[in-house]
Amino acid sequence: MNHFEYINGVLHAEGVSIPEMAEKVGTPFFCYSTATLERHYNVYADAFEGLDATVCFAVKANSNQAVLKTLANLGAGADVVSVGEMRRALRAGIDPAKIIFSGVGKADAEMREALEAGIAQINVESIPELVELNRVAIDMGTKARIALRINPHVDAKTHEKIATGKAENKFGIDWTRAIEVYRDAAAMDGIEVTGIAMHIGSQLTDLTPFREAFTRLADLVEQLRSEGIEIRNLDLGGGLGIAYQGETPPLPDAYGQMVRETVGHLGCHITLEPGRLIAGNAGIMVSRVMYIKDGEAKRFVILDAAMNDLIRPTLYSAYHEIIPVDEQGEDDVQATVDVVGPVCETGDTFGKDRKLPDDLKAGDLVAVMSAGAYGAVMSSTYNTRALTPEVLVKGNNFAIVRPRQEIDQLINMDQIPAWLGNS
């Protein structure tokens, strides 16, 4: 469910018309619904009622501080994978005791800043990283609270570029070596072993891989406890999918029940890291038609948005529904079109063979749906295209929460050395 609906024939975000925002903000832009963010967070959190659990939003999905603040006000923590994301979370008011630092490679400076901030836990993903974190913690005169991220060798049956739990993936420590690495970690002076972390992939639409991974994790907890290594925290990661194109992913309630069945008996604090599930359908990208181009074999709808604004279709062949902002009637004629951007890449394509109004013309607005996760946060300035603004809606009000970058701002970041002379 989301709060983007047609009202009197015009697409609205909650109580605000999309054309009204487009007139004031310009296009393209990303638009987020507060009501949808809040609903998705609450539905997910409620699925774990009665468990000792913390929902730590995956900041990589959407790092806008207005989004983070919205979730912080609901009690959310944060899963971060860089010091930049950690700073964003802290500035948005997220309690450091609810921040988990993940990621396959953390620099010394990032380790130090995380330890100084007093965050809940650092998820360690390799033996060299463990050794380095131990050195940094000893140098600071403290102990680092850690979980080892264990790779369970489970195929999540998702896109190869977002699978993280198979043996060939770069993430985590092989589950076959987990016991020995935990023994080593427990003996380190700068390390306090607190938990186990696991994350098997993103956009999962079946609970079976989760169940397999969490069952393996539960067995590992029992083995570690038998060796005197007390595990009190379980970080189960994220990965629960959403509907982009007719998928029927499990509901949070079903996921929560599966968690209870697999690890609920262990008496551990449980950390959950949803990102896409909360933010994905809470955002859209609004773009204006620049041209309609009738080619020899195709009709192309050329938008003012491009792959630099929303890279998922190019990167993952990801599907996003594309709809006209002005509602189409049941009897209106449709045309089959490719929806593309102006960037000089064949991959700059949002959708192939899509049905859009036959009378769609330059100046009309379209909305690319389900763009609240891995949208603006993955945007770039390729082709010297300025970063796209972001807007947050609440009821009948909206605010620009990231202004449009000026091209001159972007160009002025370059510095020409003196030996090249003045232009």
Output the known binding site for substrate: 276, 312, 316, 345, 374
Binding site as annotated, residues:
239, 273-276, 312, 316, 345, 374
Beta strands 283-294; 365-368: pairing state: antiparallel
> Which residues is 287 bridged to in the sheet?
366
> Which residues is 335 bridged to in the sheet?
356
Binding site as annotated, residues for pyridoxal 5'-phosphate:
239, 273-276, 374
Of 400, 244, 405, 381, nearest to 312 (Cα)? 244
CB 366 within 8 A of CB 289: yes
Beta strands 334-340; 349-357: pairing state: antiparallel
Beta strands 144-151; 121-124: pairing state: parallel
Residue 268 annotated to the active site:
no
362 burial type by CB count under 10 A (0-12 exposed, 13-18 middle, 19+ buried): exposed
| Catalytic residue chosen out of the listed positions 31, 56, 268, 344 | 344
Burial string for 223-234 (b: 16+ CB within 10 Å, else e) reads ebeeeeeebebb
Stated as kind and residue range, the H or E segment containing 22 is helix 18-25
Q: Which two tokens stand for residue 148?
A: 């080892």
Q: Is 151 helix (H, G, I), strand (E, B) or coil?
A: strand
Of 209, 279, 273, nearest to 236 (Cα)? 273
Query: Residue 393: which residues within 8 A CB-CB, separation 6 or more?
Result: 13, 14, 15, 16, 21, 31, 32, 33, 34
**Cα separation, 93 vs 70, whole angstroms:** 10
Residue 182 to residues 119, 123, 215, 265, 393: CA-CA distances in angstroms? 21, 13, 19, 22, 46
Could you identify the residue written with the tokens 């607005």? 365
Residues annotated as part of the active site: 344
